[in-house]
Chain A
């Protein structure tokens, strides 16, 4: 079975968005975590690194997943690989 050019593009775009979102995930989790001691300026009462660990990173995770779902569901339609409404 040969893939069409559009289908190939679909997979490339999927890999790109996956890589970008994974990079955000990595920075939020591990880079911010690594420098937690230095990022302790006050943020609405919380030290910033504590707030990131307790709320900020969680909100970003939800947004990453929500964005991915929307982006991919649109990409499916754009490249004609969406599921048919049986």
Chain B
């Protein structure tokens, strides 16, 4: 079995052996896909025969993690080229699949359709940003990095910019970016494991971690690559099946991507009807009043709290005096106990409640119409024009950061070291984007199909006739779905419903009326997405430390075996540290992920691209440019993002710190040009790079440079 993923020593590769290897891979993964489908079918039959749901969850969890661990064990290695770059024999198609799994995190799999549901056109920034970035990877980086042919991104910086300082800054940025990102992934693993099996979140984190570690610990890049291919297959099947089913149910066409335009038309028509619906207006009016009451209280929270307390105490006393039923007294006492403890707590709670009431007093539950590009109105009054401009500017800035960040994330760029040639590196980027595209062009369809279902099946239905999945999800987690009959008419209005983005993907099988086994498969797909990304990231961090810091900078005489074992130990330490940080549940996931993109974009992109395309770029310039880019980005986040502001003790109104009203999520839009400018300006005043480095650049630019 060990030979299945190529355990023979990495000798000089040759075309015939590579072709045979690829043919073998085709066979293995075809069997694997068939096996997975069979596994799901058997579970489906068992479910029909009455197997309890919690068992299905557990079987999915254990079977998939066991599978990944099995591949890890089969691919175990201590050879450096195998451990760091999978022996450089990964065919373009398989590297494309592995990159797809590496790339698509829990945020893509579970979060994205939800974001699209809630923000409509605005959410497309993620769709375009996370795919268009591959154009930059293909045109600027992948083939050249493959030709360079070392092990890591700091490797390239160190060689190109001559000296340890560029390498060292590269190590710092690679670790900063990957660590922020991996914390978000492990957090996702914990959430999904907890939901799939019902264990506690912290236990879920460590269970998932076990799966990650067995794989990357034993076999490094080789194990991670073959596991990621397996994970890609699971996650794409798990994403597609429910969407196709829902599409058949609504439109009787099994290709949702082709027909959802017509569903969008119907959604848009319904949006118009809902925004003038009498019942909706009634609900919105109630929220408007609530908001006004809260605003009144917020003028003097201490006095308002005292008044509330007195009223609640009086109610309890009155009920007790009147010998009311025990249940009523208990309700009144609970209401008294639920009041905020002091004025500060009251202010916080009421501010949040007012913000939520304000959202709900707007049409369509505060969502912009799905197909409408940008908020505000360019032909409206000054405020509407400003809203339009700001919204458009932020949309484009976010796309920019996500794209440039894509082309600078070390765990993605590293993947292009694993293919056999420059030619395959170019083809591999095409395959990567194709496999990513499959999921990304389905997500907007899913969002609209679910919105159609919500608008047409849920809204306007009496509360006691809602489908069963509504009640069961509202019970599982009220932050995902909660319904309250605000105007007491017994019928659900859109603004009476609060929906969390993550439910869109997770509940689709139930919305489409599929058996529970498909829900289990979707959760397993989300788990595969999170685990595969975490694998790649952990490996990047461990390699930066063991290969770049230890081998290249501290002990250049270290033996291969020693380097690989140091890498393994570090992997364990970093993984435990990341799991610990994730279990603290610090900042919100979306911010962590986008912070990683902005930081990578500002830190790496200018230095990497100028290093290949501009021979004059010098070492000191690159070091200063990387530091400047990251510093500007961090500074902007620290002064404008609420959680970071708390961390760094920044006070004063946020608007004083905002530049052109750009959101902190897109901080890289300032960091990238600053980094670029610093590298260019400093290069021009420092001596040109040596002849040796100039030759290295020539070497990288040509797949095969024969001396004339």
Complex interface: chain B residues within 8 A of A3 (CB): 698, 708
A18 CA to B421 CA, complexed, in Å: 20
Which stretch of B126-134, B409-417, B496-504, B592-600 is in the interface?
B126-134
Tell me the bound Cα distance from A51 to B643 in angstroms. 35
The verdict on A33 contacting B396 (CB below 8 Å), with A4-B708, A45-B265, A53-B121 known, is yes
- Choose among A4, A21, A43, A69 the residue that contacts B429 (Cβ–Cβ < 8 A): A69
Is the CB of B327 closer than 8 A to any CB of chain A? no
B392 interface residue (CB < 8 Å to A): yes
Closest residue of B by beta carbon distance from A36? B373
- Residue B426 is within 8 A (CB to CB) of chain A in the complex: yes
Residue of B128, B433, B441 ringed by the most chain A CB atoms within 10 A: B128
Residues A83 and B422 in contact in the complex (CB < 8 Å), given A58-B128, A65-B138: yes
Interface residue B264 (Cβ < 8 Å from any Cβ of A): yes
Q: How far is the CB of A74 from chain B (nearest CB, A)?
A: 10
* Shortest distance between the CB of A52 and any CB in chain B (Å): 9
Are B135 and A25 in contact (CB-based, < 8 A)? yes
Are A50 and B437 in contact (CB-based, < 8 A)?
Answer: no
Q: Which residues of A contact B437 (CB under 8 A)?
A: 58-59, 61-62
Which residues of chain B come closer than 8 Å to A68, judged between CB atoms?
138-139, 426
Interface of B is mostly: helix
Using CB atoms, name the residue of chain B closest to A81. B702
Q: Does B124 contact A (CB under 8 A)?
A: yes
**B698 and A55 within 8 A (CB):** no
Write out the residue numbers on chain B whose beta carbons fall within 8 Å of the beta carbon of A84. 704
For the complex, what is the distance from the CA of A44 to the CA of B127, rounded to whole Å? 20
Annotate B8-35 by CB proximity to A: 1 below 8 A, 0 otherwise: 0000111100000000000000000000
B138 touches A25 (CB 8 A): no
Residues from chain A with Cβ under 8 Å of B135 in the complex = 21-22, 25, 61, 64-65
Q: Mark B253-276, 1 if CB is under 8 A from A, else 0.
A: 000010111111100000000000
> Which of B12, B138, B429 has most chain A Cβ within 10 Å?
B138
Specify which of A45, A61, A64 is in contact with B261 (CB 8 Å cutoff): A45
As a 0/1 sequence over residues 1 to 37 of chain A, the CB contacts with chain B under 8 angstroms (1 = contact) are: 1111001001100100010011001001110011011
CA distance A83 to B702 in the complex (A): 9
The distance in angstroms between the C-alpha atoms of A72 and B430, with both chains bound, is 13
Across-interface contacts of A28 in B (CB, < 8 A)? 132
Other-chain residue from A2, A30, A54, A61 in contact with B444 (beta carbon distance below 8 A): A54
Decide if B664 is an interface residue (CB 8 Å cutoff). no
Give the residue of A45, A49, A59, A73 whose beta carbon is less than 8 angstroms from that of B373.
Answer: A49
Chain B nearest CB, measured from A68 CB (Å): 6
Give Cα A42–Cα B261 distance, bound, in whole angstroms. Answer: 9
Would you call B188 an interface residue if the criterion is a C-beta within 8 Å of the partner chain's C-beta atoms?
Answer: no
Q: A46-B264, A47-B371 are in contact. Are A54 and B127 (CB under 8 A)?
A: yes
| B517 in the interface (beta carbon within 8 A) | no
- A85-B15 CB under 8 A given contacts A29-B399, A43-B261, A55-B257: yes
Residues of A within 8 A of B124 (CB): 50, 53-54
- Inter-chain CA distance A65–B430, complex, in Å, is 6
Interface residues of B in 157-203 (CB under 8 A from A): none
A11 touches B701 (CB 8 A): yes
- The prevalent SS among residues of A at the interface is helix
Task: Give the residue of A42, A69, A82 whose beta carbon is less than 8 angstroms from that of B704.
Answer: A82
Docked-complex contact A10 and B261, CB < 8 angstroms: no
Contacts of B52 in A (CB 8 A): none
Which of B132, B263, B374, B396 is within 8 Å of A57, CB to CB? B132
Contact A18 B399 (CB under 8 A): no
**A22 CA to B378 CA, complexed, in Å:** 29
Most buried by A among B132, B259, B440, B698: B132
Chain B positions within 8 Å of A66 at CB level: 430
Chain A neighbourhood of B707, CB < 8 A: 1
Q: Are B371 and A7 in contact (CB-based, < 8 A)?
A: no
| Interface check B705, CB cutoff 8 A | yes
Q: Which one of A50, A54, A55, A85 has the highest number of Cβ atoms from chain B below 10 Å of its Cβ?
A: A54
Task: Kindly state whether residue B434 has any CB partner on chain A within 8 Å.
Answer: yes
Q: Which residues of A contact B318 (CB under 8 A)?
A: none
The number of chain B residues touching the other chain, given as a range, is: 35 or more
B682: min CB distance to chain A, Å: 24
What is the chain A residue whose CB lies nearest that of B143?
A72
Q: Taking the complex as formed, is A76 at the interface, i.e. its CB lies under 8 A from any CB of chain B?
A: yes
How distant is the Cα of A69 from the Cα of B424 in the complex, in angstroms? 9
Contact check, B427 vs A69: say whether CB atoms are below 8 A apart: yes
Q: Please, which residues of chain B bring their CB within 8 A of the CB of A58?
A: 127-128, 131-132, 437, 440-441
What is the bound-complex CA distance between A53 and B695, given in angstroms? 42
| A40 CA to B371 CA, complexed, in Å | 9
User: Inside 8 A of B131's CB, which chain A residues have their CB?
Assistant: 57-58, 61
Whether the Cβ atoms of B433 and A62 lie closer than 8 Å is: yes
CB-CB nearest in chain A for B445 = A54
B434 and A62 contacting across the interface, CB-CB below 8 Å: yes
Inter-chain contacts of B140 with A (CB < 8 A): 18
Please indicate the chain A residues that have their CB under 8 angstroms from the CB of B80 in the complex: none
* A47 closest partner in B (C-beta): B371
Most buried by B among A25, A45, A64: A45
Q: Are B703 and A76 in contact (CB under 8 A)?
A: yes
Establish whether residues A62 and B128, one from each chain, have CB atoms under 8 Å apart when the complex forms. no
Closest CB-CB distance, A80 to chain B, in whole Å? 7
Residue from B134, B378, B392, B708 in contact with A61 in the complex, judged by beta carbons closer than 8 Å: B134
Tell whether A54 pairs with B441 under 8 Å between CB atoms, given A46-B264, A83-B421.
Answer: yes
Most A CB within 10 A of own CB, among B259, B388, B430, B441:
B430
B706 within 8 A of A: yes
B295-309 contacts to A (CB < 8 Å): none
B265 touches A86 (CB 8 A): no
Do B121 and A50 have beta carbons less than 8 Å apart? Answer: yes
The distance from the CB of A70 to the nearest CB of chain B, in whole angstroms, is 9
B374 / chain A contacts, CB cutoff of 8 Å: 36-37
- B47 → A minimal CB distance (Å): 34
Q: A30 with B430: in contact, given A46-B371, A57-B128, A84-B704 (CB under 8 Å)?
A: no
Cβ of B423 within 8 Å of any chain A Cβ, yes or no, is yes
Q: Name A75's closest neighbour in chain B (CB-CB).
A: B703
Structural contact, B132 and A25, CB atoms closer than 8 A = yes
Provide the bound-state CA to CA distance between A43 and B262, in Å: 10
| Residues of A close to B564: CB separation below 8 A | none
CB of B403 closer than 8 Å to a CB of A = yes
Q: Find the B residue at minimum CB distance from A4.
A: B708
Whether B264 and A37, one on each chain, are in contact in the complex, defined by CB atoms closer than 8 angstroms, is no
With contacts A58-B131, A62-B434 taken as known, whether A46 is within 8 angstroms of B261 at the C-beta atoms is yes
Most chain B CB inside 10 Å of its own CB: which residue of A30, A40, A42, A65: A65
C-alpha gap A76/B701 in the complex (Å) = 11
Verify if B551 is at the interface (C-beta below 8 Å from A). no
For the complex of A and B, list the 5 residue pairs with the smallest distance between their C-beta atoms, beginning with the closest.
A45-B261, A53-B124, A36-B373, A69-B426, A46-B261
A-B contact pairs, 29 of them (CB 8 A): A4-B708, A7-B705, A11-B702, A22-B135, A28-B132, A29-B399, A30-B396, A37-B374, A37-B378, A37-B392, A44-B261, A45-B260, A45-B265, A46-B261, A47-B371, A49-B373, A50-B121, A54-B444, A55-B257, A55-B441, A55-B444, A58-B437, A58-B440, A62-B433, A66-B430, A68-B139, A76-B423, A83-B423, A86-B15
